[in-house]
Structure 1
Amino acid sequence: MAPKVLVSDKLSETAVQIFRDRGIDVDFMPDVGKDKEKLAEIIGQYDGLAIRSATKVTETILRHADKLKVIGRAGIGTDNIDKVEASKKGVIVMNTPFGNMITTAEHAIALMFAVARQIPEASASTHAGKWEKSKFMGVELTGKTLGVIGAGNIGGIVCDRARGLKMKVIAYDPFLGHDKAEKMGVEKVELDELLTRADFITLHVPFTEQTANILSRENLAKTKKGVRIINCARGGLVDEEALAELITSGHVAGAGFDVFKEEPATDNPLFNLPNVVCTPHLGAATTEAQENVALQVAEQMSDYLLTGAVTNALNMPSVTAEEAKVMGPWVKLADHLGAFIGQMTDEPIKAINILYDGSVATMNLDALNCSVVAGIMKRVNPDVNMVSAPVIARERGIQISTTNQDKSGAFEGYIKVTVVTAKRERSIAGTVFSDGKPRFIQIKGINIDAEVGSHMLYTTNEDVPGIIGTLGQTMGENGVNIANFTLGRAAAGGEAIALLYLDAQPPAPVLKKLEATGLFTQVKPLEFALA
């Protein structure tokens, strides 16, 4: 029987025809995604669900999706999909991360022009029969300094377009190496320097714990007088109230915003301010972009349903059905190893070296490599997946090397990941026990045996008495339960580490208490996705 797909959002007829041409039974019901009760009623009939942003794939919907094998999102954002529940159900979640990059970059450039020349206000004035030529004195882009926060896929395109406009481009991106920056023709700088030098600032980063409010009141105050700020990335990256105050005071000369902290944005501090151009999240809203992502998702879903090939999956490695059963725990281990190093590394990464020893060395190393790199990159880009991660790493000039060797130690197989930066090398190794559970077995060359938990705390210290007591007492006094406690040291009296598996992550004041003891050289909370 042919697979059956439901298209519950407005995809193009060309995309729908791709399913038909591939021999897939497809129902095109572009409004049913807005009717959650109807969607829950019929979803059990389908093997695949193709959506945009209107359809909300909740736990309730998935509970009724007994046949569903794949959800395809035409676009990059998957906030409207319960990915944890989909994973539990064995449903693959795919997106199309590269289909709207040019469109979004062009919109940022368009807003930059609009703000520089006050085009919307000048247009409204002229339509009103006024001829206020002297009122709308603009500035040229040529020769100005553009500060790009986030020089990945979209930010990289903006850099290229800005250089074509003869702008001086400086970029802040923790994962942008100096060699890659040089090839892009941009100057790599730290955030504080970007804020003080840029005539225009444009944001191209995802919304994460690290990027939330990156243009805070404090950081906005560091900008040079007359700066203009563009945001086509995500709401919540800029303190909108603080920005509104700086525009009103004249410190900021203008802003162009396509995204807002709360959407739909029917009321916002930036509305009705002079030389502020606002658009209703139009970054991906071009005919070409919408068509591209629709065609891509139809092809990806068809490939999976007909051949088992997996492309741009957010919750599954790109492996064959035969490999999946054996490799599953190793893929998860690879992700955990990458996530550990990714959370520990703040400076730009130059190289990632991966060693496979013993039984794991005979597996699909490409998939395992992708899982390691995705784990590392998720710290700054939660939308990254196993397909896009190596592409992003290459674009940022990160060298990825792999070594495989015969069994050389006590374990049947293990993976060791080493990250190289300009300042240091950092390594971690792990294995999979017979119960299928990943374990950390070595950190910084120090042997350990640590179970992986959702919430963990990593500390380093000199090997002196009192460490265990201090950690235990501090956690206990603050109501944080320790599920597992692992210690290791290089030698008696030398460097030592502790890895705590906790029931909940300790609040920041608790971490500060540990730091204040003077016993620890590092106190780092870590999070791991176990689903």
Structure 2
Amino acid sequence: MIKILANDGIDPIGKQLLEEAGFTVDTQTIAQDQLATALLNYDAITVRSATKVRKELIDACPNLKLIGRGGVGMDNIDVDYARSKGLAVVNTPAASSLSVAELVFSHLFTGIRFLHDSNRKMPVEGATQFNNLKKAYAKGIELRGKTLGVIGFGRIGRETATIALGLGMNVLAYDLYPFDGHIPLTFQGGIKVDIPVKSVSLAEVIAQSDFISLHTPFADKPILGAEEFAAMKKGVGIVNCSRGGTIDELALIEALDSGKVAFAGLDVFDNEPTPLSAILTHPKISLTPHIGASTNEAQERIGTELANLIIDHFTK
């Protein structure tokens, strides 16, 4: 019988599918430093972003046959090394795209109407400083007609662009692999419209966008740092729902303090799970604790897709 450790959990639907296929699924979380011993009793492990599956762990568990990632990026897995040792490595790249894209716009709408700061101050000052707060938050803007720059135009980047186009925004896209095609929009009643989108240079996205959303894996250095912030429009909004480390957080704070960046929305951070205090307390930053894929619908899709990938691997 195939035994699977879902170390970062799995949606009940995914667990049910695996068990109906005759697999044993354990969902307790085992500490990283104890995994090498525990995994000797399993054929496969599934993870999200918390558990790391590095070379040392792979070498310590020659019995492992499969590593599954419930989500998109696989930065926490030594994928090439695992595959070189004969392990299957699978993930669920499409399942969470819509949820992440919707969180991007949660941060954008929050930023343009100062909701992040208003929600902090209204409970404390609303009864005594109502008119002052009303004046302070009276200079919001609209998204329609503005330009959204999307850095990283994979599945999530394209889903983000789809929402932007549906709102009447313009989209500038950058990706390492140039894109020249259409983004399909589907409206109520089954009406479908294809919008042409062609990727441009990173420099164009940085210089011409009113808002910028990051959708890239972790790189050797931040994609947005002091030089990039200096090249942006004054009053730009920045959203990062991709990976910590893709923005130089100290440079971001300087850009926020100077007014170059109007606001930022962050779902990911350099030092998770202990983000920089100056980031957490900044009045111009909207904050969420890495919940981009954490919707009921996305978790069901992730669990179902991951379970089917595992079943297919072990039964083919």
Q: TM-score, normalised by structure 1?
A: 0.53
Distance 2:180 2:63 in 1: 49
Aligned match of 2:14:
15
- Write the mapping of 1:181-330 to structure 2, written as runs, cut at 5 A: 184-186=195-197, 188-209=199-220, 212-307=221-316
Residue 89 of structure 2 is aligned with which of 80, 93, 100? 93
SS at match of 1:139: coil
Which AA in structure 2 matches 1:206?
A: P
CA deviations 1:376-399 (Å, max 9, x no partner) are: xxxxxxxxxxxxxxxxxxxxxxxx
Counterpart residue identity of residue 89, structure 2: V
- State the distance in 2 between where 1:98 and 1:139 align: 32
Aligned counterparts of 2:199 and 2:150: Cα–Cα separation in 1: 10
The residue aligned with 1:145 is: 147
Amino acid at match of 1:175: Y
Superposition RMSD on alpha carbons, in Å? 2.4
Find the residue that maps to 2:5 and give its secondary structure.
strand
1:50 aligns to 2:46 (yes or no): yes
**Are the aligned partners of 1:181 and 1:188 in contact in 2 as well (CA < 8 Å)?**
no
Whole-Å separation in 2 of the counterparts to 1:188 and 1:91 = 35
Note the 1:410-489 alignment, pairs <5 A.
none
| Distance across 2 between alignment mates of 1:191 and 1:60 | 36
Partners in 2 of 1:217 and 1:71 — Cα distance? 38
Whole-angstrom distance in 2 between the partners of 1:84 and 1:193: 33
Inter-partner Cα distance in structure 2 for 1:181 and 1:15: 30
Q: Deviations over 1:436-489 (max 9, x none)?
A: xxxxxxxxxxxxxxxxxxxxxxxxxxxxxxxxxxxxxxxxxxxxxxxxxxxxxx
Q: Does the CA contact (< 8 Å) of 1:36 and 1:61 recur in 2?
A: no
* Percent identity over paired residues: 38
Q: For residue 175 of structure 2, what is the aligned residue in structure 1?
A: 173
- Determine which structure has greater relative contact order: mean sequence separation of CA pairs < 8 Å that are 6+ residues apart, divided by chain length: 2
Distance in 2 separating the partners of 1:241 and 1:51: 30
CA–CA separation in structure 2 for the residues paired with 1:58 and 1:127: 46
Q: How many residues align?
A: 301
Query: Within 1, Cα distance between the matches of 2:171 and 2:214?
Result: 13
Q: Which digits, 9 at most, give the CA deviation of each residue in 1:191-213, with x for residues without a partner?
A: 3333232211111222235xx32
Aligned residue in 1 for 2:66: 70
Structure 1 position 75, deviation (Å): 1.6
Instruction: Verify the 8 A CA contact 1:254 1:275 in the aligned structure 2.
Output: yes
Task: Using the TM superposition, give the Cα deviation of residue 120 of structure 1 relative to its aligned residue in structure 2, in angstroms.
Answer: 1.8
The equivalent residue for 2:137 is: 136
1:41, 1:91 → 2: CA distance?
18
Output the amino acid matched with 2:9.
K
Deviation by residue 1:261-298 (Cα, 9 ceiling, x = unmatched): 22224325433333211222121121221222122111
Aligned to 2:29: 31
* Residue 54 of structure 1, CA deviation: 3.4
Larger displacement relative to structure 2 (181-190 or 289-298):
181-190
DSSP 3-state at the match of 1:128: helix
Equivalent-residue separation in structure 1 for 2:71 and 2:224 (angstroms): 26
Deviation at 1:88, TM superposition (A): 4.5
Q: Kindly indicate whether the alpha-carbon contact (under 8 Å) linking 1:181 and 1:187 is maintained by their aligned counterparts in 2.
A: no
Q: Helix, strand or coil for the counterpart of 2:282?
A: coil
Unpaired runs of at least 5, structure 2: 185-193
Letter aligned with residue 141 of structure 1 = L
- Secondary structure of the 1:161 match is helix
